[in-house]
Amino acid sequence: MTSPNPLDTIRLNFSQGDLLTLNLALALIMFGVALDLKWEDFRYLIKNPKGFFLGVFSQFILLPFLTFLLVQVLQPPPSVALGMFLVAACPGGNVSNFLTNLAKGNTALSVSLTAFSSVAAILITPLNFTFWAGLFPPSAHLLREISLDIGEVFFTVGLILGIPLILGILTRQKFPLVADRVSKILKPLSILIFAAFIVLAFAGNFKTFLQYIGVIFLWVLAHNLTALFGGWISAKLGQLPKPDTKTLTIETGIQNSGLGLVLIFTYFEGLGGMAIIAAWWGIWHLISGLTIAGLWRKME
């Protein structure tokens, strides 16, 4: 009988204060995102259904499916596979709108997809994660050992995403000037808090991080490239215009790994493979996203 991979057994050290900081940072990030949203953003989706439906398909159906295929090829440790499935099940990242604008994509479509995916993730993220993780026997076995309560996950995702989004949209509708001022302060502040959490969380686990970053880097690189390709090919097959193609590529390749980290530290006790995958994804997708957006901007 082979011994389990260390990534499947180690737990990253973190305190309740760390977890509270992460939850606060993610809630602030989502509130800051919602401050830029209007109900008109949702109506835009009705008027432009093709790009919207392809974006939803790419993010919530194609990306988890491609992740499943990638996991079959790479055969990573079960905890790493769980981390990849969880990242793929999360909604789009909060910087996707900025990157779309930088790339001269369709910012209105990006904002609308962010709004929809953040709301839909309350239901879709837990379902997508358990469904796809359950199809890969090693991760399914580990999931059963952990005894994940899907109802609690629904509650946590709804609490972290739903409430800040509703409050942010209502603030934008009722107090637009206040929303403008708060958004300018809150966005950089919340991202700094989130970045500080990742640094602090890994400061106490630096040896573990250094030990596995080489192979984790390759797994995340392959996964992120797969996500970006999934968004691009969806737009190309749908014959979308170039700005919409940029938007779908970025929206699918930029995932809310912060939500993934909250769930990992809340329900998986900081399981090594999952936590390192989600944390490094949060760093890497900014690098890849900025690179692609910058190249697209120069090519215009």
* pLDDT tens, residue by residue, 88-141: 999 887 678 878 888 888 888 887 888 788 888 888 888 999 999 999 999 988
Token pair for residue 261? 């980290």
Residue 133's pLDDT is 92
Token pair for residue 5? 């991979």
Asked if 125 contacts 90 with a C-beta cutoff of 8 angstroms, the reply is yes
Query: 0.95 cut: is pTM over it?
Result: no
Token pair for residue 186? 């809150």
Confidence tier at 1 by pLDDT (50, 70, 90): very low
* pLDDT tens, residue by residue, 133-191: 999 999 988 888 777 677 778 877 887 788 888 888 888 888 888 888 887 787 677 66
Look at the alpha carbons of 289, 156, 145, 65 in this order and tell me if their dihedral is positive or negative.
Answer: negative
- Cα 278–Cα 282–Cα 288 angle in degrees, nearest 5: 125
Tokens 């697209």 sit on residue: 296
Pick the CATH number of 13-140+149-293 from 3.30.420.10, 1.10.3720.10, 1.10.10.10, 1.20.1530.20: 1.20.1530.20
